[in-house]
Chain A
C-alpha cells in the first residue's frame, strides 16, 4: 500500500477540488455510469436485506410456498441487478481512473516543459519528482477506491436512514444523535492529531534529508573511516522519527475503535428505548427486530468514510501540489519574429524550408501593432514586415543589468557586441557572471534593464523557440538521454541523416570512440550516460551542437573535462565548427580563449577589461594576472 499516512492537509481545498473536478469532468459520462451503477449496487445490497422481512412475513402469514417463491424470486432479481452493477461500476471505474491519471500526468509533464528555468532553480528536483511519484500515487489510490466508496456510503447512509424512518420515526432520531456524536468525535480527533502528524512530517523530512546527503557522500565516508560516527547521528534521528510516528499513529488509530464503540452504545440505547416502546404497545416486536438489524448496519458507512477520510485528505494534499505546479505561469513568449531555415534560389531570393540548410533568415509576421514598446535603434528591424532577411548572428548587449532576485543584480551595466563570425571569450572567477551572460542570450532569464539585440532585433520580439534553435549550445554539464548514441547526437536536429551525424562526430572527434563502442552509433546510452566517461560525454555534446548547425554558438566550459590531449584533437574540429559563426566561449583553460577576437574579463558582474589576448597582456591588468595563474578560474 503506497499510501503514506502523513497528516498532510490541503491548504486550499476549494480550488484543488475545482481543478480535480475539471479533470474528472472530462470523463463525465464514464463517471456518471460509475455513480449510477455504484448507487444501484449499494441500493440492491440494502433492498436485499430488506427483502428478508417480506419473505419471512409471507411464510408466517400463511401464503405458504407460493409466497416464498415470489419473495425469493424478487430477492434473486435484486441481487442479480446488484452484482451486475458492481461488476459494471468497478470495471468502468478502473478505466476512468486511469484515463484521468493519464491526463493529469500528461498535462503536468507538458506544463513543466513550458515553465521557465527560474522555476527549476527555485524548486528542488526531488520535490518535483515526488509530484509524479508520491502525489500521483496517493491520488491514484483515492480515485481507484474512494470515489465509489463515497457514493456507496452516501447511498447506504441515506437509504438506511429512509428505511429506518419508515420503520420507526421516533427511534430514528436516536440514530441521528448517534451520527452526530460520531461526527463530533471524528472532527475533534482529527484536529488533535494534526499536531502530531506535522511533527512526524518534520522529523521524516529531517531524516530523509540526512539519508540523501550521506548516501551521496558514502564513498567519502568510507575513505575517512567515518561509518560509526554517522551511525550515531542516524540512530538519533531515526529514534526521533519513531517516537513522533508512534504518537501520531497512536492518535489516529483510535478513531475507528472509538466510532465503532459509539455506534454500539447508541445501539444499546436504541434497543432499550425500542423495547420500552414495545412494552408500552406503541410498537410490535417484529418491527423492533428488523429495526435493530438496520440500526446496526447504520454505523457501517460512517466507519468506511472514516477509514477513507485520511486517505482522501492526504491525496487531496498531493493533488494540490500537482495543481499548484500546473497553475504556475508558463514562460512568456510574446515574440513575433520568426527565425527560419532558408534555401537560396537561383535568382538570389530566399525561400523558407523545413530542413536545416545552415542558412537562416528572419521575418516578422505580427509586427503591425506594438512597434512602440520595442522601438529599436538604428537597425533595419523596421523593414522586416513579412519579408525574409538573412540572419547574420550579430549580438549586442546594451547597458544590461540582471539579477535572479529583484534588487540583487548579478550583472551590472554590461555592454558588448559580437559581430557575425566573431569569437568572444569570457573569463573571470566563479560567480563573476560568465554563465549568466550566456543564459541571457538564449533567454533562460529576462533582463532587468538594458537591451539585448540579435541582428538588431530586440530578443523579446523573437519567438523563443526559434531563438534557441538558432543558438547552438554546449553546456557545462552534459546530459545524455536514454536512447542510442545516434539519438543523442540527433538531439539538436531530429531529422539528421546518418551522414550528417557522422560528419558532426568527426568534427568533434567523437567518431573514434563511438566506433569502438559495442554497437557503435546504435549503442544504448543508459542512466544519463553512466557507461560513458565524462570526456566522452562532452565529445557527444559537442557533436550534438555541430549537427544542429546554428549561426551562433555558445560553449560553456565545453572542454573542461576532456584531457588536454583529447582537447587538442577536438580543437581542430572545433575551429572548423566555429568558422563563420558567432561564438561565445567560456573556458577554464586560457589556452582555449587565447585566439578569441575579443576577451572580456568579468569581475563581480562587471566588465573590467576587454581586448584581444596581446592587448590585454600588454595592459598588465586582471587578464595578465589570470593568465599568469595568480587567480583562480573556474
Chain B
C-alpha cells in the first residue's frame, strides 16, 4: 500500500482535476439519490390525492434531477479523463527523466525489456486503475452513508440491523482481500515465468528448429503453463468468494428485516411503504460495500505495477557529482593508480584488480587480451561510466570524480562495443556528437572514419534514413558511422572498444593512419587483431582482470608468452603483418 501512496503522489499536478471529478461524482450521486424520494411523493401524495399538477411538477423535478446528474456525469468524464491521462503521462515522464539520470551500473541492474515494461504496460495499468476505480470509490461511500442515514431516519430500531450486518460484511470482505493479496503476488510470479519461457523460446526459435527441440519446448512450457493455471485457480477461488459471502449476509439481513418488519406492521408500528423503502436502502448499503471490496481487489492487482514503477523512481544514480565540479580537462593523459573494480558490490570476484598504468597525452595505446579479460571494463572507467571500487583514475592529472561528468564525457569519446544508431537520417545520428557541426566538419570525420566511400553509394547521402536501430547499413558501415559520430565530439581522449571488428583490415589500417594525424588526441584501442595495435606506442595485455604486460610490439614479442601466442595464432602461415584477418 505504501507503493500505491508513493505512486499516487504523482497525481499532484492534476489534483484540481481529480478533486473536481470527485465533487462531480458526489453531486451526480446525490441527485440520483433524490430521484426515489421525489418518486415516493408522486405515489404517496400525487396519486393518493389525485393531484395531476403535483404529479407533473414532481415528475418535472425528477427529470431535472436526472438531467443535472447527466450534466455532472458528462463533466465528470472530462475531468476524470484529464486526471487519469495526466497522471499516466506524469508517471511516464518521471520514470523517463529518472532513467536519464541512471548510470551504467543502474542500467545493468534492470534489463532493457524490464525497463520498457515498467515505462509502458505498468503505467497503463496504473492509469486504468485510476480511471476505473475513481467512480465506484466515490459513489460507494456516498451511497453507503446516505443509505444508512435514510434507514435510521425511517426506523431507528430496525436500522440497528446494520450495526451487526455491516461490520460483519466489512470484516469478511476485508479478510478475503487480505488473503488474496499475497496470492496475487504468487500468481504474478507464475505469469513472469510464462513470459520468460515464451521470450526465451521466441528468441531462440532458429536454434530450437535446428535441434528439433519443438516437442521438448512444449513440454517445458507445459510446466509453467500449469503453474500459472494452478496459481490462478488458487487466487481467484478465494477472490470470488466475496460474491456468495456478500449475498449470504445480504439475504440474511433482508430476511431479518422482512421478519421483524412484518411483525412491526402487524403491531401497527410500521407502514407497508416504509418497509419497502427500508429494504431498498438495505440493498443499497450492501451493494455499495460490495463495490468497495471490488475496488480493493482491483487495486491489489495494480500493486505489482506500482511496486515496479517505484523501483525505477527510487533507484539512486550510482555516481555522485562533486560539490565544485571542474569543467576544464587539462590534457588527454590517463592514469590508473591501484585501481580495482567490481560490477556489483556483492560480487565475490573483482573484475579488475590492482591496475597501475600511465598513458601520456597524445599517445596511442593498444589493449589486447582474451575473452573476459576485462578490457572493456578498464576503458569504461576513464569517462567515468563506472567508479573504481579502490584506487583512482586520473584524466589530465585529476581524479575523474572531481570533474563535471558531462564535461568529462565530452572530453572522452568512447565508441562502445555494443553500439547503436538511432532511427533518423545519417546526418541526425552524426550530429549527436556535436549538434552545431558544419558541413566541413561532417565530411572531415566521415573521411577519417572511411565512411565517405560508402556515403556516395547511399541514395540520399547524409540524409539517408537509417531505419530503427540502423538496419539499413551493414555491420562494418555501422561501426564506421559510430566512429565518425564520436570523432565529431573532438575529444581529447578517443577510445575504441573493439570498434572495427566488422571493418576489413585494409580500411581499418586507413582509419588508423588517419587517426594518427590527430596528434593531440590520446587514442586507446581495444582490438582482437594484433595488426590493429602493432604500431601503438604502448600495448597493454590484459589477462583475467589484471595487466599482464605492457610494452611495445617488439619487446613483447620477445618477452611475453601470451603476446607471442596471440601473435602466432593470427600470423599463422608466415604471412606478412595484417593479412590474416
Contacts and interface: CB of A to CB of B under 8 A. Distances in A.
Interface in B31-76: 32, 35-36, 39, 42-43, 46-48, 50, 52, 55-56, 59, 62-63, 65-67, 69-70, 72-74, 76
Given A75-B258, A250-B78, A257-B73, A271 B43 contact: yes
Contacts of B262: 55-56, 59, 68, 71-72
Nearest to B79: A250
Interface residues of B, number: 173
A9 interface: no
Most buried by A among B213, B410, B435: B213
Given A629-B504, A629-B505, A82 B131 contact: no
Given A86-B247, A246-B82, 9 more contacts: A48-B251, A98-B232, A129-B199, A208-B120, A211-B96, A219-B107, A249-B81, A444-B209, A631-B504
A165 interface: no
B420 interface: yes
A627 B579 CA distance: 7
Nearest to B249: A83
A52 B258 contact: yes
A79 B202 contact: no
B73 A215 contact: no
B146 to A, nearest CB: 16
B74 A292 contact: no
A491 interface: yes
Chain A to chain B: the 4 pairs with minimum beta-carbon distance, closest first: A257-B73, A535-B371, A479-B204, A629-B505
Interface in B195-211: 195-211
Interface stretch (A11-19, A235-243, A316-324): A235-243
Given A72-B258, A249-B131, A257-B28, A267 B218 contact: no
Nearest to B60: A268
Given A52-B279, A113-B217, A215-B99, A632 B32 contact: no
Contacts of B104: 219, 222
B266 interface: yes
Interface stretch (B158-166, B327-335, B354-362, B561-569): B561-569
Interface string A213-255: 1111111111111111111001100110111011111111110
Interface in B178-236: 191, 194-218, 221-222, 225-226, 228-230, 232-233, 236
A38 to B, nearest CB: 11
B36 A296 contact: yes
Contact of B416 (A83, A223, A229, A239): A223
28 contacts: A1-B128, A2-B125, A5-B131, A59-B265, A75-B258, A94-B236, A98-B230, A125-B199, A125-B203, A132-B194, A133-B195, A213-B468, A235-B93, A238-B92, A245-B81, A251-B77, A258-B74, A267-B35, A268-B35, A271-B62, A285-B43, A289-B276, A430-B475, A444-B209, A491-B211, A632-B503, A633-B581, A634-B501
Contacts of B207: 473, 475, 478-479, 491
Interface stretch (B108-116, B149-157, B393-401): B108-116
Contacts of B119: 211, 215
Contacts of A265: 62-63, 66-67
A399 interface: no
A134 interface: yes
B102 to A, nearest CB: 7
A444 B36 CA distance: 70
A13 B326 CA distance: 65
Contact of A79 (B112, B240, B254, B414): B254
Contacts of A306: none
B528 A564 contact: yes
B102 A482 contact: no
B506 interface: yes
Contact of B74 (A87, A219, A221, A254): A254
B340 interface: no
A491 B209 CA distance: 11
A59 B266 contact: yes
Contacts, number: 450
A367 interface: no
A242 B88 contact: yes
Contacts of B196: 482
A249 B432 contact: no
B244 A83 contact: yes
A468 B209 contact: yes
A479 B197 CA distance: 13
Given A98-B232, A632-B502, A292 B422 contact: no
Contact of B581 (A55, A478, A567, A591): A591
B370 interface: yes
Interface string A515-552: 00000000000011000011110000000100010000
B279 A278 contact: no
A623 to B, nearest CB: 13
B212 A260 contact: no
A71 B229 contact: no
Interface stretch (A101-109, A407-415, A454-462): A101-109
Given A56-B276, A230-B100, A271-B59, A213 B423 contact: yes
B272 A1 contact: no
B259 interface: yes
A563 B528 contact: yes
B570 A591 contact: yes
A242 B70 contact: no
A51 B202 CA distance: 59
A230 B266 CA distance: 78
Nearest to B64: A268
Interface in A135-159: 140, 144
Nearest to B477: A632
Interface string A327-340: 00000000000000
A91 B414 contact: no
B89 A565 contact: no
Most buried by A among B100, B197, B259, B433: B100
A287 to B, nearest CB: 11
B85 A246 contact: yes
B383 A223 contact: yes
Given A106-B222, A250-B77, A632 B504 contact: yes
B574 interface: no
Contact of B255 (A76, A101, A234, A269): A76
Contacts of A424: none
Contacts of A75: 254-255, 258
Contact of B504 (A98, A548, A630): A630
B80 interface: yes
